[in-house]
Amino acid sequence: MSEPVLEFAFELRVDCDPHLRIGRSADEELTFTPITGGTVAGPLLDGVVLAGGGDWAVERSGTSQLEARYLLRADDGAVIDILNRGYFRATEEAIARHEAGEHVDESEIYFRTAPVFQTDAPAHRWLAEHQFVGLARDEDGQVCVRVFVVR
């Protein structure tokens, strides 16, 4: 069996409001982060992130399990649903340095996703027929996800 090949498809730059704390138990915390807009740009898709979605996160033992659901509108007007699940993990020191505006090497922060898309638009059907991997980061107040299609 051959090794998977990743092809860069596009980058999501997602605008978010501050997270809302929903609840906490002895070993986990649940939060919700509203998605307010953003952009999609790359060789395989261009468009915007529509306001109205959100990201639910459950943090357990220093690792957050993420589930974001929102809509994209491609430049041709097609609406695309995205369900983006993933994980975020970093040391408290790395997070504090990042929040202070210092550069933090990507090796100190694990932020990976696996987006799944739905659409009936013929030009974008390929999104609903492939597996994707996202490499995410927080940059200038946006969540940025470089999305790669697995070929």
Answer whether residue 30 is part of any domain.
yes
- Pairwise CA distance, residues 54 & 38, whole Å: 13
Q: Structurally, how many domains does the chain consist of?
A: 1
Task: Kindly report, residue by residue over 100-122, the tens digit of the pLDDT.
Answer: 888 888 888 999 999 999 999 99
Q: Please classify residue 99 by burial: count the beta carbons closer than 10 Å to its beta carbon, then call 0-12 exposed, 13-18 middle and 19+ buried.
A: exposed
Q: Which pLDDT does position 91 carry in this prediction?
A: 87
Answer whether residue 139 is part of any domain.
yes
Which range of residues forms the domain containing residue 35?
6-150
Task: Kindly report, residue by residue over 4-26, the tens digit of the pLDDT.
Answer: 999 999 999 999 999 999 988 87
Answer whether residue 117 is part of any domain.
yes
Q: How many CA atoms lie within 13 A of 94 on its CB side?
A: 15
Percent of the chain at pLDDT above 70?
Answer: 100
Q: How many CA atoms lie within 13 A of 72 on its CB side?
A: 28
Answer whether residue 73 is part of any domain.
yes
Percent of the chain at pLDDT above 90?
Answer: 81
Answer whether residue 51 is part of any domain.
yes
Q: Write the CATH number for 30.
A: 2.40.160.20
Answer whether residue 87 is part of any domain.
yes
The answer to whether the CB of 70 falls within 8 A of the CB of 16 is no
Answer whether residue 1 is part of any domain.
no
Q: Per-residue pLDDT for 99 more than 90?
A: no
- With residue 86 as reference, give the H or E element that holds it: strand 79-90
Answer whether residue 119 is part of any domain.
yes
